[in-house]
Structure 1
Amino acid sequence: MEETELVMNTALLAGEILLENGAEIARVEDTMMRISTNEGYANANVFVLLTGITMSLPDGTATQVRPVHSRTLDLEKVDQVNTLSRQFASDEIDVPTFYQQLRQVKVAVPTFPFWLQLIAAVVVSVTLMLAFTGLHQWLVVLLTALAGATGYGVFYLINHELQIRFLSEFLAALVIGAIADAGVAWLALSRLAGDAVIIGALMPLVPGVPLMNAFRDTMAGNYLSGPARAVEAILSVCAIGLGIAIMVSLR
């Protein structure tokens, strides 16, 4: 592989990994430009959208387009790419090594196992339920933990098995609403307690990072990717809201 082609492929792969795993557009463009500049291509042209990356180098004979079909949230991979980029900038690794390590990051499985993610979902659900509602009843806390873990489990498994966008949020919200209503009926809790369970258990599903990235992209002048990312996050919120609305209407 020629040097120009290797530099372009390395920058494109770094940008693809960042974009697929939740990085904002400005970070993707900055990382790709730094890779090119460190190899002597300060006049590289990089154009990043939410669904693809276009790049050309001044000494290259072609422009490459890298489509991005799937997006998730894995800040561990974002951090790994940033670390490799810093090592490359400080001459700790060369371009071939950088490219090979990026390929390993691309195919790496998530660092945190499923059981640990469930524990994190329980902690987030219970903590935010207590913070938002102030209900400290042990039955409500336990029901929130159950609903949060089950809802996140449904969300995780559907995302990995079916890979149908927004279906996982919808079904997870349905399950959370069903558990909350069933708990209220069986444990003779108040309707306020059931609403508190729903509020807490939904927190692990809320697309907070995508919404923040949408705001940052828009403020940075990316008026295509910023609103597009916002629409994507809003659709996730609508799927969650629809699932809860259906369960509330069935009360």
Structure 2
Amino acid sequence: MEQPSATNYEIAQVCLLAGKIMLENGGETYRVEDTMSHVAQAFGVPNSHSFVTPTGIIFSIDGPEQTTRLIRISARSTDLHKVTVVNAVSRRISQGELTPAEAYRLLVDIDTARTGYPTWIKILSAAIASGCFLIMFQGKWSDFLPAFVAGGAGFSFLGYFHRLVPIKFFAEFLASLLIGTMAYLWVIAGLGHDLDKIIIGSVMPLVPGLLITNAVRDLMAGHFVSGVSKGAEAFLTAFAIGAGIAFVLSFYNGEGITG
């Protein structure tokens, strides 16, 4: 629905903020561009262009009052609830229920809201998931507790290491190194049996599953820059996890670590 009182700058603000929220919280590149395009059309701007990468968004509006803006994406996480809420706001805009000013205020509230789960719930979920992955990979129930503890501790220290060392690669390497060491200690103490199953189950919460999925979907949608860059980021994460585990296995090689 056309909003004649809105300026191109106000419309661009709404589109960029919507795209920023989605991209920072796990949205795919093509979904971000599609949402920004629909919002601009709903506000009476048929000729808009966007270029989205994992680290930035460029948005431009053609016409007498041409507007081009760039926004930097410096932090990315996973909060699909925010992506869903932004989609709901986009649908309300398309139905003509919101003006640019109202939509912008709603998006600011979404952006600043702390909708994530408490840290202790995330750690507990990672610990339970580690134990369940162990069983899924045909591990023994007697190894459930070692995987539970190692997976929860690894996920917990991942956040701590990331705050201590802001380079993601090293935080993931240290977290996987901790998981491998704890798994080895459980086996040495006689409380764990299959070291490989314990390690595999414990590192699963660190695996970048959403990142890999988004990389494939972006590549299939023709967004090669974003797809390749997300794929490279997923590869580095996988390499960091593998390097940490390999360091533990090579350090204790030949000492009966396989139980």
Q: TM-score, normalised by structure 2?
A: 0.90
Q: Indicate if the aligned counterparts of 2:123 and 2:152 stay in contact, CA closer than 8 A.
A: yes
Q: Indicate if the aligned counterparts of 2:150 and 2:183 stay in contact, CA closer than 8 A.
A: yes
CA shift in 2, pair 1:167/1:117, >3 Å: same
Displacement after TM superposition at 1:34 (Å): 0.6
Q: Which runs of 5+ in 1 are unaligned?
A: none
Q: What is the CA–CA distance in structure 1 between the aligned matches of 2:184 and 2:43, rounded to whole Å?
A: 60
Task: From 123, 142, 147, give the equivalent of 2:145.
Answer: 142
Q: Map of 1:135-214 to 2, 5 A cutoff?
A: 135-137=140-142, 140-187=143-190, 189-190=192-193, 193-214=194-215
Q: Which amino acid aligns with 2:147?
A: T
Q: What is the CA–CA distance in structure 1 between the aligned matches of 2:15 and 2:164, rounded to whole Å?
A: 31
**1:63 is paired with a residue of what secondary structure?**
strand
**1:224 is paired with a residue of what secondary structure?**
helix
Q: TM-score, normalised by structure 1?
A: 0.93
Q: Map of 1:108-127 to 2, 5 A cutoff?
A: 108-127=113-132
Q: What is the CA–CA distance in structure 2 between the aligned matches of 1:189 and 1:152, rounded to whole Å?
A: 20
Q: In the TM superposition, what whole-angstrom CA distance separates every residue of 1:163-206 from its partner, at most 9, and x where no partner exists? A: 3222221111011001100000112543xx11111010101000
Q: What is the CA–CA distance in structure 2 between the aligned matches of 1:90 and 1:142, rounded to whole Å?
A: 52
Number of equivalent positions: 247
Q: Which residue of 2 aligns with 1:8?
A: 12
CA shift in 2, pair 1:196/1:61, >3 Å: same
Q: Which residue of 2 aligns with 1:230?
A: 231
Q: Which runs of 5+ in 2 are unaligned?
A: 253-259
- Please report the RMSD computed on the Cα atoms of aligned residues, expressed in angstroms: 1.6
- Does residue 27 in structure 1 map to residue 31 in structure 2? yes
Displacement after TM superposition at 1:70 (Å): 2.0
Displacement after TM superposition at 1:161 (Å): 4.8
Q: Which amino acid aligns with 2:80?
A: L
Q: What is the CA–CA distance in structure 1 between the aligned matches of 2:238 and 2:99, rounded to whole Å?
A: 43
Q: Which residue of 2 aligns with 1:38?
A: 42
Q: What is the CA–CA distance in structure 2 between the aligned matches of 1:9 and 1:181, rounded to whole Å?
A: 52
Q: Which residue of 2 aligns with 1:65?
A: 70
Task: From 53, 76, 82, give the equivalent of 1:77.
Answer: 82
Q: Which amino acid aligns with 1:100?
A: R
Task: From 88, 100, 103, give the equivalent of 1:95.
Answer: 100
Q: What is the CA–CA distance in structure 1 between the aligned matches of 2:85 and 2:190, rounded to whole Å?
A: 46
